[in-house]
Chain A
Amino acid sequence: MSSILTKIMGHREKKVAGPVARHSGLKQRLELKAPIEGADFVAFDTELTGLDFKRDSMISIGAVRMRGGRILPGQTFYRLVRPDSELKSQGVVVHELTHSDLEKADPVEEVLCDFIDFIGDAILVGHFVFIDVNFVNRAMKRIFGVGLQSPSVDTSALHDWLYESDSHFARHHQGMSLKSDLFSLARKYGIEVEKAHNAMYDAYVTAQLFQRFLPFLPECGVRSLKELLMVSKS
């Protein structure tokens, strides 16, 4: 038994230490004056048992890497998380995940560690990203004592900003969406939605949404990461 424990602990020890330790020093490394073009992004989404981050928990994380406006479909992350709170029954239906699926999943610390490793120094991109960030941040603080350091772009905020700044974007799409949920936006801007409510695909849709916005930013004076973060704050 002890050998198994050592194996798990040792394994975990190694995995936890590296990426999280590296992550804690992220803020010093970030070059926010760098141009958006060529910068690394990770679009991500989490599935939650509910929106109350005190009571609810994450059940999966999906993410896809981007370089500037280019999505890298070969570089994705999707993991289920073993829940530590009771699953709400209605949540189960939406996610199409069963209890047994989740019981077989990895513990949250392992998934988070791998996720932190996956995102590296990239800027996070999400739709209403503060929700996902809150959940990840809270879990990280609890488990590793270090919060999520990555800056994040909120595509819903970016959409609002484009709406207000009278960009060429609105003309290009013959008006903009008044609704702001991910799927209304996807529909309006011609993004195919194949499988809703799976963190991986939602992350992919978010990435594509971000991709639709990017070409219209330079003409509005948004060229560096810093400027991008400023106009896309949740």
Chain B
Amino acid sequence: MLKNETIDFLKNVPPFNLLPEEELEGIVEDVSLEYFPKGVNILTQGGAPSEFLYIIKRGGVRVYMTSETDEEINIDYRSEGEHFGLLSLVSGDLSRYNIMAFEDTISFLIPKEKLLAVLQRNQSVNEYFLKSFFISFIDKTREETQRKYSGLTGGDRALFTTPVGEGVRKKPITALESLGIRDAARRMAEHKISSLVIVNPTGVPVGIVTDRDLREKVVAKGLDLSHPVRMIMSSPLIKVDAEEYCFEALLKMMRYNIHHILVVESGRFKGILTNHDFMVLQGSSPMVLVKELENIQSLEDVRGTMPKIHKTVSTLLREGAKAHNVTGIITELTEKLLNRVIDLAERKSGSPPVNYSLFLFDEGGRRELTLNRAIRMGVVYEDTGSTQLIREAEAYFGDLKKVIDRTVASCGDPGGPDCLAAVNIMSFSDWKGKFDQWAATPGRRRIEVSYADMRPVRGDSETVENLRRSLLENMASRRTMMDVVILQTIENSPPLGFFRRFVVEKSGEHRSELNLYEKGIRPLVDAVRVFALQRGVENYSTWRRVVELKARYSFAHTEDIDHALEYLLTLLIHHQIEQIEKGLVPDNFINPEHLANLEKKTLKETFHLIATLYDLLEKSLSTEVVAK
């Protein structure tokens, strides 16, 4: 009867799923079901406290505050299976927020006394309610996901949990920049160290000298040993803060292809971390793979490295790497591979007819690549007056594109993504012209906002950076252009149906599956990008953008965004690894029905957050546009 149906409903709703059947039966005796038409205020900020815990059966509510200036501040959206009214029910004084039905909503009501009695008897449920809702959930789900996919029980997570400062073992050996090369080498030999930090007279590190410098710059070139070390030291120094995790240091070492990294603590030199230290910490290091990638001798061998990249990623996940660490590694490895592939292509078909820079944009630009090989890149080549050269260049890049498609981008899979589309191969002036036109006549053409993530990976990086800067400046300074960007972004916003059920594919190969990237990650990333562009935040990666938005602009929701993105990407990469292990081609499609309840709920939670962000986006449009 209705009673059983109610019990069945509660059984699937955390934390009531933790309760024994008898408790549920007891609750249901006094449960009631109420209907709130869209737009009705259920609880009012400052008004009477809630006498019930409301659990949404259908529909959804908006939780918001009204500021002293009568501004409405969105706090949250809650939908099916979620609850509201708890805070004031427990405190008993007044309602903290306004709760409004944003669609027709049917809710179960558990009377206060009943709930409090249940909480008293059931510690687990009590704890659940006590914890901060969103965050505890994400963490729990992440742990569960991890357990589910990798069978992980304990394991060594040193790389991700050890701050760099702890990894530094020895007191650093330094030398003054005026010290002679011979003396510096002697000091290194004495202390059996492979690097020496060079400091200025006030003790501030200014450079580093390593074994490699001695070999390449001194011995190989026959340099006079009495010269000061200043002449052969590498600078500027690549530094990492002692508080950062070892993983960050490793990532930087991979990025700059260095084997030693300087650790600073509150601006002062603390020590050196070497690749060797990572081997000790980890047993193996992704640096080994980097070396391997750089030593590939033929395009045919590229394919063989893919499984190794997958294995590295899989290992990282098992060790508890956070998603942004993993995407960072994937991006670094992909870049290394990409560069090597181009080296090999050049070796085969000669150097390019014009100088050019290669850049990644979108996922790759943001250092957020996953394993689906959706790598988007572009070429900016040197301006030339010669049509002959232009023709040669076009042919050259056409061939290059084929090579990349066959190797890095899709490993030769038919129908793989177009990683280097023809429209993304242009001369500097053409690029500049394209960007300037967007600024001059906004709204006429679609603005490819993801160019805002363009990041140089080969060739002269300044060219690409200049282009990007002009684009960013135009967007930040021209209201109308920004409005177009916002409107375009909103068009891609998740449909309201997300509150009720996941919007899955209606037909085709991925029927009833959810495109996690397009429907979840992209809207989130796009929203953050706009918030960053509006404020002139220039960072590439979404995480860095979020950090900066929080630090410099006290932007709300940053913690939630961080968690949501972390969750979505973790889910996606786990899914891809699982596909790879089954011998399938990794993609972005997950079947929401295969997710555990908690995962589903967290997924919905993240979609709410996205909806909140899009609300904010819409509000940031200038009034002229809104009027239209």
Contacts and interface: CB of A to CB of B under 8 A. Distances in A.
A44 interface: no
Contacts of B6: 73-74
Say which size band chain A's interface belongs to.
20 to 34
Interface in B21-39: 28-38
A95 B104 CA distance: 32
B148 to A, nearest CB: 33
A214 B34 CA distance: 11
A74 B29 contact: yes
Contact of B34 (A204, A211, A216): A211
B37 A74 contact: no
Most central of B2, B29, B30, B31 by chain A CB within 10 Å: B2
A72 B32 CA distance: 4
A228 to B, nearest CB: 16
A67 B35 CA distance: 12
A115 B42 CA distance: 34
A15 interface: no
Nearest to B4: A73
B1 A200 contact: yes
A160 to B, nearest CB: 20
B109 interface: yes
A70 B109 contact: yes
A70 B2 contact: no
Contact of B35 (A64, A200, A211): A211
B1 A78 contact: yes
A155 interface: no
A224 interface: no
Given A64-B2, A172-B38, A204-B2, A73 B33 contact: yes
Interface string B521-549: 00000000000000000000000000000
B3 interface: yes
B37 A172 contact: yes
A112 to B, nearest CB: 20
Nearest to A172: B37
Given A78-B1, A190-B104, A204-B2, A71 B36 contact: no
A176 to B, nearest CB: 14
B32 A200 contact: no
A34 to B, nearest CB: 19
A200 B40 contact: no
A73 B28 contact: yes
Nearest to B28: A74
A215 interface: yes
A73 B33 CA distance: 7
Contacts of A180: none
Contacts of B491: none
B5 interface: yes
Contacts, number: 53
A76 interface: yes
B31 A72 contact: yes
The interface residues of chain B, by DSSP majority, are classed as mixed
Contacts of B1: 76, 78, 200
Contact of A67 (B28, B32, B36): B32
Given A190-B104, A200-B1, A71 B32 contact: yes
A208 interface: yes
Contacts of B104: 190
Interface in A170-218: 172, 190, 200, 204, 208, 211-212, 214-216
Contacts of A76: 1-3
A69 interface: yes
Given A73-B5, A204-B2, A215 B35 contact: yes
Nearest to B25: A74
Contacts of A72: 30-33
A70 B34 contact: yes
Interface residues of B, number: 19
A216 B104 CA distance: 13
Interface string A9-50: 000000000000000000000000000000000000000000
B525 to A, nearest CB: 35
Nearest to A214: B35
Interface in B1-59: 1-3, 5-6, 28-38, 40
A69 B34 contact: yes
Nearest to A70: B32
A214 B37 CA distance: 10
A88 B164 CA distance: 85
A71 B6 CA distance: 12
B31 A73 contact: yes
Nearest to B33: A71
Nearest to B27: A74
Nearest to A216: B37
B40 A70 contact: no
A61 B37 CA distance: 30
B315 to A, nearest CB: 48
Contacts of B38: 172
Contacts of B32: 67, 70-73
Contacts of B36: 215
A71 B35 CA distance: 9
Contacts of A74: 2-3, 6, 28-31
Contacts of A215: 35-37, 40
A210 B326 CA distance: 55
Interface in B229-267: none
A148 B285 CA distance: 84
A74 B2 CA distance: 7
Contacts of B3: 73-74, 76
Contacts of A75: 29
Interface string A78-109: 10000000000000000000000000000000
The 5 closest A-B pairs by CB, nearest first: A70-B32, A73-B2, A71-B33, A74-B29, A74-B28
18 contacts: A69-B35, A70-B33, A72-B30, A72-B31, A73-B2, A73-B3, A73-B5, A73-B28, A73-B32, A74-B29, A74-B30, A74-B31, A172-B37, A172-B38, A200-B2, A208-B35, A212-B35, A216-B37
Given A73-B6, A78-B1, 11 more contacts: A70-B33, A70-B109, A72-B32, A73-B2, A73-B3, A73-B32, A74-B30, A76-B2, A190-B104, A211-B34, A216-B37
Interface of A: 64, 67, 69-76, 78, 172, 190, 200, 204, 208, 211-212, 214-216
